[in-house]
């Protein structure tokens, strides 16, 4: 029982440290998005969403999956307790990230014209997209430094750098938007990217890692082995980013840029704010899982423990978000974004299936099953795009949310079967029971949000939310005593 609690404690520790910083980052994001919504409106939000898609798409392709494979290899080097091996591994990855940053920036310059035509049906955005090459360059360098911090399990440093980067980005971007309006979007992007890189660089340099005497040729040859898994990851990432780019541009063309802004607002809440839980847990979960990837029973135990905590933490949040989707959009953006509430509810519903998939999907990466990982990602995005496209004539913008839900319903059994095949993984009966009970809470909350309004709906919704919280509290007490939690947080 003591070893079991120790594992749960590790999950709680990494989640609370990184999650705490992410909560602060979310608060910063709320302020930033609120200011953007008020100052720039749906048009500005739509443009920013497309710019983000461009940067993320090129960053994903240019990174060659090194951010994930780098974490894995650096974690292995760190655990070897051999400083020379660690220095050599870090130096090799630094060389690769510098080259990839240059290539990514160059790609952004070369493809700026076709991207402008595709996204906006207008060439006047070509220069703006070309200037995003600076952001791409800095984003890939930042990704490299962050992967080193994560691989060495320097979670506090990761948390601090991410928070400070977001904070300084807010300080500079809001005045720029205030002074220049839509013309300030590009400068705000560049300055925000710069501050984020400088903050990560500061904490990286505090590690005082020695530069190993490794030639460019040796670094290149060693990196080719790493690319085997990385290429599958980058293709999967590119497909994901490109798919979202297609959705945003399709919505923009089929309806208008305002609709793209509404979609973006729902997407950010679902995949940035709600995914906070997954990002927080993933900061330490992947290195831990990679270290035991060859031991089936340990893999099963760790993934089930991770799933347990995810269900405890995420389910009440999902219930609350379903009930107060419209309010969340108004607070996080403005009243103009209230029409996105239906999209948001469908996506939040899909998020429940996402949190069930997430720990299991990591098994494929930990066991170097890149082809299987890519295949599952392709299935998800094909279902998402196809269902959204087919439902669009009837449901309009709401089809993007429905497609998201359908895709994760299909994705869940696929990922489970792959995980079972490659590692013998199965969910414990306790996890299945928790999932079913929480699914019941979430289904009731969704029904209330869809069909009840006013004071009666608020009363019913509050009741189911309280019940969900009580259930989560009971399940948490089974793995942590209240005294343990109080003592642990007291030390923090």
* Residue 118 sits in the same domain as residue 221: yes
Coil vs helix vs strand at 16: helix
Greater confidence, 113 or 1? 113
* Residue 336 sits in the same domain as residue 382: yes
Last residue of a domain, one of 218, 252, 277: 277
So what's the pLDDT on residue 9? Answer: 62
| Alpha-helix residue ranges (DSSP H) falling in 63-82 | 66-79
So what's the pLDDT on residue 492? Answer: 46
d(CA 43, CA 40): 7
Q: Is the pLDDT of residue 489 over 50?
A: no
* Residue 297 sits in the same domain as residue 424: yes
Last residue of a domain, one of 227, 246, 277: 277
Q: Is the pLDDT of residue 136 over 60?
A: yes
So what's the pLDDT on residue 14? Answer: 63
Which letter does DSSP use for residue 273 in this model?
I
CB 170 within 8 A of CB 31: yes
d(CA 229, CA 226): 6
Q: Is the pLDDT of residue 386 over 90?
A: yes
Coil vs helix vs strand at 295: coil
- Helix H, strand E, coil C: the string for 360-417 is HHHHHHHCCCHHHHHHHHHHHHHHHHHHHHHHHHHHCCHHHHHHHHHHHHHHHHHHHH
The model's pLDDT over 103-116, given as tens digits with 9 standing for 90+, comes to 999 999 999 898 88
* Residue 203 sits in the same domain as residue 55: yes
Q: Is the pLDDT of residue 137 over 80?
A: yes
Greater confidence, 131 or 216? 131
Categorise residue 98: left if φ over 0, alpha if ψ from -120 to 50, beta otherwise. Answer: alpha
Model confidence at 482, pLDDT cuts 50, 70, 90, reads low
Task: Flag whether 6 is in a domain.
Answer: no
Last residue of a domain, one of 277, 302, 337: 277
- Which residues constitute the domain of residue 87? 18-277
Residue 251 tokens read as: 């919505």
* Residue 35 sits in the same domain as residue 83: yes
The model's pLDDT over 390-435, given as tens digits with 9 standing for 90+, comes to 999 988 888 999 999 999 999 999 999 999 999 889 999 999 999 9
Q: Is the four-CA dihedral 209, 215, 221, 224 of positive or negative sign?
A: positive
CB atoms within 10 A of CB 436: 9
Task: Count up the domains in the chain and report the number.
Answer: 2
CB 91 within 8 A of CB 222: no
The model's pLDDT over 2-40, given as tens digits with 9 standing for 90+, comes to 445 556 666 666 666 666 677 787 788 778 877 887 788
* Residue 93 sits in the same domain as residue 232: yes
So what's the pLDDT on residue 35? Answer: 80
* Residue 322 sits in the same domain as residue 229: no
* Residue 234 sits in the same domain as residue 307: no
Task: Flag whether 416 is in a domain.
Answer: yes
């Amino acid at each position: 029982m003591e070893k079991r609690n120790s594992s749960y404690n590790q999950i709680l520790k990494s989640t609370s440290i990184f999650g705490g910083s992410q909560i602060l980052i979310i608060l910063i994001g709320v302020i930033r998005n609120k200011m953007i919504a008020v100052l720039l409106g749906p048009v500005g939000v739509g443009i920013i969403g497309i710019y983000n898609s461009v940067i993320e798409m090129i960053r994903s392709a240019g990174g060659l999956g090194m951010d994930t494979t780098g974490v894995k290899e650096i974690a292995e080097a760190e655990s070897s307790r051999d400083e020379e091996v660690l220095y050599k591994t870090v130096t090799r990855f630094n060389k690769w990230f510098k080259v990839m940053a240059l290539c990514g920036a160059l790609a952004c310059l070369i493809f700026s014209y076709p991207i402008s035509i595709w996204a906006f049906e207008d060439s006047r955005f070509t220069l703006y997209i070309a200037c995003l090459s600076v952001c791409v360059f800095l984003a890939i360098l930042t990704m490299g430094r962050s992967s080193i911090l994560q691989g060495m399990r320097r979670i506090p440093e990761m948390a601090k750098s991410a928070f400070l980067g977001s904070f300084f980005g807010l300080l500079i971007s809001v005045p720029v938007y205030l002074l220049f309006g839509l013309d300030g979007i590009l400068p705000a992007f560049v300055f925000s990217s710069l501050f984020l890189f400088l903050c990560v660089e500061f904490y990286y340099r505090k590690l005082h890692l020695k530069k190993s005497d490794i030639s460019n040729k040796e670094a290149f040859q060693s990196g080719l082995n790493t690319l085997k898994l990385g290429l599958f990851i980058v293709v999967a990432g590119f497909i994901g980013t490109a798919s979202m780019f297609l959705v945003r541009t399709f919505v923009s063309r089929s309806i208008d840029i305002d609709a793209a802004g509404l979609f973006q607002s729902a997407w950010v809440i679902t995949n940035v704010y709600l995914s906070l839980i997954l990002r927080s847990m993933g900061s330490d979960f992947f290195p831990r899982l990679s270290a035991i990837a060859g031991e089936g029973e340990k893999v099963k135990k760790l993934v089930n423990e991770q799933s347990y905590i995810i269900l405890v933490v995420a389910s009440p949040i999902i219930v609350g978000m379903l009930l107060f989707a419209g309010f969340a959009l108004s607070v996080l953006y403005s009243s103009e974004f209230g029409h996105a509430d239906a999209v948001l509810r469908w996506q939040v519903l899909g998020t429940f299936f996402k949190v069930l998939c997430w720990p299991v999907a990591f098994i494929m990466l930990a066991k170097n099953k890149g082809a299987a990982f890519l295949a599952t990602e392709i299935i998800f995005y094909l279902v998402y795009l196809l269902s959204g496209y087919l439902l669009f004539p009837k449901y309009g913008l709401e089809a993007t949310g429905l497609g998201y839900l359908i895709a994760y319903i299909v994705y869940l059994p696929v990922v489970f079967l792959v995980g079972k095949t490659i590692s013998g993984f199965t969910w414990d009966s306790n996890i299945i029971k928790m999932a079913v009970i929480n699914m019941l809470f979430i289904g009731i909350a969704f029904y209330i949000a869809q069909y009840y309004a006013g004071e009666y709906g608020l009363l019913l919704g509050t009741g189911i939310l309280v019940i969900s919280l009580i259930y989560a509290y009971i399940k948490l007490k089974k793995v942590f005593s209240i005294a343990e939690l109080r003592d642990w947080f007291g030390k923090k």
